[in-house]
Structure 1
Amino acid sequence: MSAARESVLSARGLVKRYGNVTAIDGADFDLFPGEVLAVVGDNGAGKSSLIKALSGALVPDAGEIRVGTERVHFRGPLDARKHGIETVYQDLALTPAQDIASNLFLGRERRLPGLRGSVLRMLDVGGMRDEAEKVLRDLGIGIRSMTQLVETLSGGQRQGIAVARAAAFGTRVVIMDEPTAALGVTESGKVLELIGRLRERGLPVVLISHNMPHVFEIADRVHVHRLGKRIAVVSPRTHTMNEVVGLLTGAVRPDDDHRLQPSNPG
Structure 2
Amino acid sequence: MEKIKMTTPLVEMDGDEMTRVLWGMIKEKLILPFVDLKTEYYDLGLLNRNATRDQVTTDAANATKRLGVAVKCATITPNRQRMEEYPELTEMWKSPNGTIRAILDGTAFRSPIVLPCIRPVVKNWESPITIARHAYGDMYKAVDMSTDEPGTAALTFKGESGAEKTLNVQTVDGPAVWQGQHNKESSIRAFARSCFQYALSQKQDLWFSTKDTIAKVYDGEFKRIFEEEYETSYKAEFEKLGITYFYTLIDDAVARVIRSKGGFIWALKNYDGDVMSD
TM-score grouping bracket, smaller chain normalisation? under 0.3
Select the structure of larger CA radius of gyration.
2
More helix by share: 2
For CA contacts below 8 A with separation 6 or more, give which structure has more relative contact order: 1
Normalising by the residue count of structure 2, what TM-score does the alignment of the two structures yield?
0.25
Normalising by the residue count of structure 1, what TM-score does the alignment of the two structures yield?
0.26
